[in-house]
Amino acid sequence: MSNALKLVQIGKRDLQLDDDMYRNLLEQITGARSAKGLSESQLNAVVDAMKQRGFKPKAVNAKSRPKARAAEVAKIRVIWLVMFEQGFVRSKTEVALNTYVKRMTKTSNGQGVDRIEWLTSEKAAQVLEGLKKWHYRCMADAIVASGGRVPANDKLTGPAGYEKLAAYYEEFYCGNA
Protein backbone atom coordinates (compact mmCIF):
# COMPACT_ATOMS: atom_id res chain seq x y z
CA MET A 1 0.00 0.00 0.00
CA SER A 2 1.46 3.37 -1.01
CA ASN A 3 2.01 6.11 1.54
CA ALA A 4 -0.58 8.29 -0.20
CA LEU A 5 -3.19 5.52 0.01
CA LYS A 6 -2.35 5.03 3.70
CA LEU A 7 -2.83 8.76 4.26
CA VAL A 8 -6.21 8.63 2.50
CA GLN A 9 -7.30 5.78 4.79
CA ILE A 10 -5.99 7.58 7.89
CA GLY A 11 -7.70 10.79 6.76
CA LYS A 12 -11.00 8.95 6.31
CA ARG A 13 -10.74 7.65 9.87
CA ASP A 14 -9.53 10.94 11.41
CA LEU A 15 -12.25 12.97 9.69
CA GLN A 16 -14.78 10.30 10.71
CA LEU A 17 -16.14 10.00 7.17
CA ASP A 18 -18.78 7.33 6.73
CA ASP A 19 -18.62 5.24 3.56
CA ASP A 20 -20.97 7.47 1.53
CA MET A 21 -19.20 10.68 2.56
CA TYR A 22 -15.82 9.12 1.73
CA ARG A 23 -16.91 7.86 -1.69
CA ASN A 24 -18.55 11.22 -2.50
CA LEU A 25 -15.28 12.97 -1.66
CA LEU A 26 -13.33 10.56 -3.85
CA GLU A 27 -15.75 11.09 -6.72
CA GLN A 28 -15.67 14.86 -6.32
CA ILE A 29 -11.84 14.96 -6.44
CA THR A 30 -10.98 12.11 -8.83
CA GLY A 31 -14.17 11.07 -10.60
CA ALA A 32 -13.88 7.57 -9.07
CA ARG A 33 -15.83 6.21 -6.11
CA SER A 34 -13.01 3.90 -4.99
CA ALA A 35 -9.37 4.57 -4.13
CA LYS A 36 -8.42 1.31 -5.82
CA GLY A 37 -6.52 2.03 -9.00
CA LEU A 38 -6.04 5.75 -8.34
CA SER A 39 -2.68 7.20 -9.30
CA GLU A 40 -0.31 8.66 -6.76
CA SER A 41 -1.17 12.20 -7.88
CA GLN A 42 -4.91 11.50 -7.54
CA LEU A 43 -4.39 10.11 -4.05
CA ASN A 44 -2.33 13.17 -3.13
CA ALA A 45 -5.18 15.37 -4.41
CA VAL A 46 -7.57 13.51 -2.10
CA VAL A 47 -5.18 14.01 0.82
CA ASP A 48 -4.99 17.73 -0.01
CA ALA A 49 -8.80 17.93 -0.03
CA MET A 50 -8.88 16.16 3.34
CA LYS A 51 -6.34 18.65 4.71
CA GLN A 52 -8.69 21.48 3.67
CA ARG A 53 -11.37 19.75 5.75
CA GLY A 54 -9.14 19.63 8.84
CA PHE A 55 -7.06 16.48 8.39
CA LYS A 56 -3.57 16.92 9.88
CA PRO A 57 -1.36 14.02 8.81
CA LYS A 58 1.62 13.22 10.97
CA ALA A 59 4.96 12.68 9.26
CA VAL A 60 6.33 9.16 9.52
CA ASN A 61 10.00 9.38 10.41
CA ALA A 62 12.51 8.25 13.02
CA LYS A 63 10.96 10.54 15.62
CA SER A 64 7.50 9.03 15.17
CA ARG A 65 8.64 5.42 15.59
CA PRO A 66 6.99 3.50 18.37
CA LYS A 67 8.81 4.06 21.66
CA ALA A 68 11.19 1.26 22.52
CA ARG A 69 10.65 -0.67 25.73
CA ALA A 70 14.37 -1.09 26.42
CA ALA A 71 17.01 1.63 26.76
CA GLU A 72 19.55 -0.54 24.91
CA VAL A 73 17.61 -0.18 21.65
CA ALA A 74 19.09 3.27 20.96
CA LYS A 75 22.64 1.90 21.20
CA ILE A 76 21.73 -1.07 18.97
CA ARG A 77 20.49 1.37 16.31
CA VAL A 78 23.64 3.50 16.57
CA ILE A 79 25.96 0.52 16.20
CA TRP A 80 23.89 -0.78 13.27
CA LEU A 81 24.20 2.57 11.47
CA VAL A 82 27.93 2.76 12.19
CA MET A 83 28.36 -0.76 10.81
CA PHE A 84 26.48 0.32 7.68
CA GLU A 85 28.69 3.39 7.25
CA GLN A 86 31.77 1.21 7.69
CA GLY A 87 30.52 -1.26 5.07
CA PHE A 88 29.92 -4.18 7.44
CA VAL A 89 26.14 -4.38 6.84
CA ARG A 90 24.42 -3.87 3.48
CA SER A 91 21.30 -2.04 4.59
CA LYS A 92 20.62 0.57 7.23
CA THR A 93 16.84 0.13 7.08
CA GLU A 94 14.63 -0.80 10.01
CA VAL A 95 13.57 -3.87 8.02
CA ALA A 96 17.17 -5.12 7.92
CA LEU A 97 17.71 -4.34 11.59
CA ASN A 98 14.45 -6.08 12.53
CA THR A 99 15.52 -9.13 10.52
CA TYR A 100 18.75 -9.24 12.51
CA VAL A 101 16.86 -8.80 15.79
CA LYS A 102 14.46 -11.63 14.91
CA ARG A 103 17.35 -13.95 14.04
CA MET A 104 19.19 -13.07 17.26
CA THR A 105 16.13 -13.63 19.45
CA LYS A 106 14.93 -16.93 18.03
CA THR A 107 14.16 -19.43 20.72
CA SER A 108 14.14 -23.18 20.60
CA ASN A 109 10.65 -23.21 19.05
CA GLY A 110 11.78 -20.97 16.18
CA GLN A 111 10.08 -17.78 17.32
CA GLY A 112 11.82 -14.45 17.61
CA VAL A 113 11.02 -10.82 18.36
CA ASP A 114 9.73 -9.21 15.14
CA ARG A 115 10.48 -5.56 15.91
CA ILE A 116 13.32 -3.93 17.79
CA GLU A 117 10.85 -1.75 19.73
CA TRP A 118 9.34 -4.87 21.27
CA LEU A 119 12.57 -6.10 22.87
CA THR A 120 12.58 -6.45 26.62
CA SER A 121 15.61 -5.05 28.38
CA GLU A 122 17.00 -8.57 28.83
CA LYS A 123 16.59 -9.48 25.14
CA ALA A 124 17.89 -6.07 24.04
CA ALA A 125 21.03 -6.59 26.13
CA GLN A 126 21.56 -9.97 24.43
CA VAL A 127 21.09 -8.44 20.97
CA LEU A 128 23.41 -5.54 21.87
CA GLU A 129 26.19 -7.84 23.07
CA GLY A 130 25.85 -10.03 19.98
CA LEU A 131 25.98 -6.98 17.72
CA LYS A 132 29.05 -5.62 19.52
CA LYS A 133 30.84 -8.99 19.14
CA TRP A 134 29.99 -9.08 15.43
CA HIS A 135 31.15 -5.48 14.97
CA TYR A 136 34.35 -6.23 16.91
CA ARG A 137 35.13 -9.19 14.63
CA CYS A 138 34.47 -7.10 11.52
CA MET A 139 36.74 -4.28 12.68
CA ALA A 140 39.50 -6.66 13.82
CA ASP A 141 39.37 -8.57 10.53
CA ALA A 142 39.51 -5.31 8.53
CA ILE A 143 42.51 -4.09 10.54
CA VAL A 144 44.39 -7.35 10.07
CA ALA A 145 43.45 -7.52 6.37
CA SER A 146 44.98 -4.09 5.83
CA GLY A 147 48.24 -5.18 7.48
CA GLY A 148 47.56 -3.61 10.87
CA ARG A 149 47.38 -5.04 14.36
CA VAL A 150 44.53 -5.00 16.82
CA PRO A 151 45.56 -2.68 19.66
CA ALA A 152 46.16 -4.02 23.16
CA ASN A 153 44.00 -3.26 26.17
CA ASP A 154 45.15 -0.64 28.69
CA LYS A 155 46.96 -3.21 30.86
CA LEU A 156 48.68 -4.73 27.79
CA THR A 157 47.39 -8.17 28.77
CA GLY A 158 45.34 -8.86 25.65
CA PRO A 159 43.46 -7.26 22.79
CA ALA A 160 41.52 -4.03 23.28
CA GLY A 161 37.89 -4.19 24.33
CA TYR A 162 35.01 -3.14 22.11
CA GLU A 163 34.98 0.58 22.95
CA LYS A 164 38.74 1.01 22.53
CA LEU A 165 38.82 -0.95 19.29
CA ALA A 166 35.87 1.03 17.90
CA ALA A 167 37.59 4.34 18.69
CA TYR A 168 40.88 3.07 17.20
CA TYR A 169 39.16 1.82 14.05
CA GLU A 170 37.25 5.08 13.65
CA GLU A 171 40.42 7.15 14.03
CA PHE A 172 42.82 5.16 11.87
CA TYR A 173 40.66 3.22 9.36
CA CYS A 174 37.68 5.42 8.57
CA GLY A 175 39.47 8.42 7.04
CA ASN A 176 38.79 10.67 10.03
CA ALA A 177 42.44 11.09 11.03
Please check whether residues 21 and 92 belong to one and the same domain.
no
Q: What is the model's pLDDT at position 58?
A: 76
Report how far residue 3's alpha carbon sits from residue 115's, in angstroms, rounded to the nearest whole number.
20
Let me know: does 141 contact 131? Beta carbons within 8 Å: no
Please check whether residues 33 and 69 belong to one and the same domain.
no
Q: What is the model's pLDDT at position 175?
A: 66
Half-sphere exposure of 19 (CA within 13 A, CB side): 1
Please check whether residues 69 and 127 belong to one and the same domain.
yes
Let me know: does 4 contact 44? Beta carbons within 8 Å: yes
Q: What is the model's pLDDT at position 177?
A: 42
Please check whether residues 47 and 69 belong to one and the same domain.
no
| Structural domain that includes position 79 | 65-173
Q: Number of folded domains in the chain? A: 2
Q: What is the model's pLDDT at position 130?
A: 96
Report how far residue 20's alpha carbon sits from residue 104's, in angstroms, rounded to the nearest whole number.
48
Q: pLDDT under 70 in the chain at which residues?
A: 1, 59-66, 108-109, 175-177
Q: What is the model's pLDDT at position 68?
A: 75
151: left (phi over 0), alpha (psi -120 to 50) or beta: beta
Let me know: does 34 contact 72? Beta carbons within 8 Å: no
List the one residue out of 14, 92, 101 whose CA is nearest residue 50.
14
Q: What is the model's pLDDT at position 36?
A: 87
Task: Classify residue 60: in a domain, yes or no.
Answer: no
Report how far residue 104's alpha carbon sits from residue 174's, in angstroms, rounded to the nearest whole number.
28
Please check whether residues 17 and 72 belong to one and the same domain.
no
Please check whether residues 112 and 154 belong to one and the same domain.
yes
Task: Classify residue 59: in a domain, yes or no.
Answer: no
What pTM did the predictor assign? Answer: 0.62
